[in-house]
Structure formats: structure tokens, C-alpha cells
Structure 1
């Protein structure tokens, strides 16, 4: 091979100084394209987010048996949260808002695609009237709806100092079971601020049990009731069980004969 041919072949090889600028420009172009793609993606996501946020809630569906809760009141509470649009809804805030209503025990809030809001309402199930204006649910929680006693006259009345609801409810259940075995019905149970127990039966008879061991005193009363009081119990006004080895009975005064 001649020297001229060797020079020709050598001239065809790219020089290092020529390759490096082309590689650098290629890398810069790739980076620029990547930045443009990312910016376009972010812009698209933001546009989509704005469009979704602007979707209004077209319908609010209520589920559950609404016996005491006003649907109009629930709608008013929910409407306060709808201005943010379907996607922006704060479901937890709506739930808290609804559960502030006295008769609402639990509210479950969920989105239904594309533009609906479903709200399931579970109402309170009171087991007793509490004091003069409240109701007591199955968990010992006191709630105070308007006109509670007017609507629930069939419920027993429980009463006691603050923080005593659960204990009074427990004692009521135990006492009701003992009395029910003898066909007696407990309609009112009260704990005084000093912890003294008093019960009222369906016929109006008052049982005074004091502070110590009310269930044991109730059992003592039932033992005497079965043996000596059952026949004339409608005449018994008050039974005091606070004595160590017995009890005291107060009788109702005999009503004068209307013809006498």
C-alpha cells in the first residue's frame, strides 16, 4: 500500500476534537427535550386538576331511615361544603358537620362517580331518658334533641351526676333483670350526687337502696316481696332497704270510700 493511500485512510477517521462537541450538543438536546416533556406533563396535570375541581356536585343522595332527623336540615348542612366542587369535597368535614345533629349517631359520606354524593345516616337509638331533657343511647352517650321526653314516654328515666351515665345504665340493666323475674318493672333509677341509689317501679313504689351494694339490697327486697308483700304490693308506697338486717315499708293511706 502506498503512502498516499495511507494518508487517505487516516484522513477519514474522526478527530477527538470533532466528536466531543457533537456529543455535548446531543446530551443538551436530550435534556432539553426531557425538560419540555416534564413541563408539558405537569401543565397537563394542572389543567386536568382544575377541570376536575370545577366539576359541580349535581345530586346528593341520602340513605337510611330518617325518623327523627329532618332531611331539610341535613341538606342545609351539606350545602355549606359543596362550593369547592366534586373533587375538592372534604368528606370528613361533611361527616363531622352531620354528626353534630342531635339525632345523628353516625354519618357515612362517599363520592359516586361522576357527580353524586351519597350520605348514609344512622340515627340514634335511645334506651332511656336522661334527667329532664336528654336521651341516653346504647353506648352511654347523652344527647339532647328538642322534645325528647314528649316523643319517648315509653322509655325508663335515668338520672345522676356528670360522668355517671354508663354506671347507671349498667345498674339499670341488672336491676331490671332481677325485677323482671318477679313481673316488676323499673321505670326510674336515680343516683344522687353522694352516690345513693333510688328506684321507682311501674306502680309508683319507691325503693331506697342507699350507697352501698344496691343489688344486694334489691335482692333482699325481692325475698321479702315474694313472701309477704306480693299480695298487697299495690298499697306499698315506699320500701327502705338501708337497714342491716331488714327493711322498712311505708303504706299508702287507704282512700276513703266515695260512697261512705
Structure 2
């Protein structure tokens, strides 16, 4: 039989444990009630915020719709903000401003919202002296133009010019524009390479104050140059710049004093060069050896 003292202790422990259990269950119930109340308040808060934001959302949508409709109207109505002025921001040397006005004239009177800058640019670059054009619109009625002109470097075959960038064009004032320019020719597909070689050779010869009047690159890519003093220089297909430097080195020593008698010098040889004298020239030197 169990000891009464022990039973009392056992009952006390059980009793205390039971009280603890009830207390914990009460705590859970209270916590659940608090959470439920908070959730109810939170739901009402979100609903209230939504109601407060609704007028603002409606206002924004209304503004966007009205703005869009206004832009459509302005774009369709050519009489709204018509183009009235043109401003050329470039310092033009070759292009006449009146020519630019004539090209842009069809755009005058049209609403700036209906203008097509790309179309205006395409019309401008058809002018032979205009290389490129930047077209912008300044609110509310002005067209801004920044025009890049062609810079001719030489005459390309007959009736046309070639620019420093290798672009071939045919201006109406060819006779005036081509005055003093060298004549160069070569395969059409390598026009840019031809002008690059010409500009390089021109710079090399400036040291001796020699000027190129013509340069030709044939279908085989063989090069020859004619100077203003009448001498023709044969450079061949390879190492044109190096061979021209060889000519420059021997020019003052063996050629300069005989310019009137020399018709052609041929530097297509590996180490030396050959000389072709003009007719009726009495000279013993037919071949030269470079030092």
C-alpha cells in the first residue's frame, strides 16, 4: 500500500501540472484572439488604403488618355505648330544655303509632329556636296540642320571628283571645283584605297617640293605616278611607299639636275632603277644603281 505522504506529493505534482496545462491552453486562446483581431484590423486598413488611392489612379489614367489623344490630334493636324524657320548650324563652304532651303521647302507649313527627320536627311544628302546631315526639331517651329560637306581630294576619271574619304561624286560646278586637283584613276571598287595611296604619296613627295598631277592604278594593281615636272615614276604592284622613298633619296643626287631630259624612272627593280630619257636627249646613263 502506498505511503499517504507520497500520494499527497504525487497528487500535488499532478495538480500543479494540470494547472500549468490549463494555463498554457488559456494563453493560446488569448494569443489566437489577439491575432484574429489584428488580422481584422489589417484587412480593414488595406481596404481603406485602396479606397484612398482609387481617385489618384483614376486621375493618372485620365491624364494619360487625354495626353495621348492630344498627341494624336496634333500629329494629324498639320496646322498645329507649323514649321516656320530653318537654322543651319554649319559653316558651309561648298553648299549654297539657298539650295538647302529649296530642299527643305516642302516641309514648311507642316506640323512639327508630322515631320520625318529621316526623309529630310535623305533629301539633303542627294546634294552632291553634302556628305551627311543631322536633322533636329526645336520646339515649337524651327528645323535645326548640321551639314557635313564633301572635301574633294582629286579628280576621279572624267567629270567626277573623289573626296578624302573615297566617296565619288559629280558636282554641277565641276570645272571650278576640280581646278588644281590631280587626276587619279583605278578600279571603281577600290576607290577608297586609291585615294589613300594618293594622299600618302603626296605627303611623301612634299619634302622635295614635288607635286603629283596624275596617278593610275591599273586592273593588275600596278601603280604609276606623273609629277608636275613631267617625270613618270613606275612603282609596280607592291611596296609602293618604299619604292617612292627610294626615288626621293636618289632624286636630289642623280635626277634633279636632269629633270628636263628624263621621261620615266622605273623603280620596280629590287635594288636599282631604270631611266627612260626623252627623245633627242643625249645621255649615257640608262640605268642607275642606288647607293
Normalised by the size of structure 2, how large is the TM-score?
0.66
2:190 to 161, 164, 169: 164
Establish whether residue 64 from structure 1 lines up as the match of residue 90 from structure 2.
yes
Of Structure 1 and Structure 2, which has the larger fraction of its residues in helix?
2
- Deviation sequence 1:178-225 (CA, Å, 0-9, x none): 322222222222101111101011112111222232233323333332
Pairs within 5 Å for 1:85-164:
85-164=111-190
Q: CA deviation at 1:96?
A: 2.0
Aligned length: 226
The residue matched to 2:208 in structure 1 has which SS? coil
SS in 1 for 2:132: strand
2:255 is the alignment partner of 1:232: no
Asked if 1:46 corresponds to 2:69, the answer is: yes
Q: CA deviation at 1:103?
A: 0.4
Q: Deviations over 1:39-92 (max 9, x none)?
A: 686356424542465321112223323332233332232233446411121112
Aligned position for 1:203: 229
When the two structures are superposed, what TM-score results if normalisation uses the length of structure 1? 0.73
Distance 1:55 1:199, change over 3 A: same
After the TM superposition, which of the residue ranges 157-166 and 145-154 deviates more from structure 2? 145-154
For the structure 1 residues 43 and 240, does the alpha-carbon distance in structure 2 shift closer, same or farther, using more than 3 Å as the test?
Answer: same
Q: What is the distance in 1 between the residues matched to 2:60 and 2:271?
A: 92
> What CA distance in whole angstroms lies between the structure 1 residues aligned with 2:228 and 2:151?
22
Distance of 1:235 and 1:190 partners within structure 2 = 23
- List runs of 5+ in structure 2 lacking aligned partners: 1-50, 282-291
- After superposition, give the CA deviation of every residue in 1:138-195 in whole Å (9 maximum; x if it has no partner): 3222222123243232222221102222222232233223322222222222101111
Alpha-carbon RMSD? 3.0
> What is the rounded CA distance, in whole Å, between the counterparts of 2:97 and 2:213 in structure 1?
33
Q: In 1, distance between residues paired with 2:166 and 2:122?
A: 20
Deviation at 1:226, TM superposition (A): 2.7
Displaced runs of 4 or more, over 6 A: none
Describe the SS at the equivalent of 1:215: helix
Contact 1:199–1:208 under 8 Å retained in 2: yes
For the 8 Å contact 1:129–1:149, the answer to whether it is kept is no
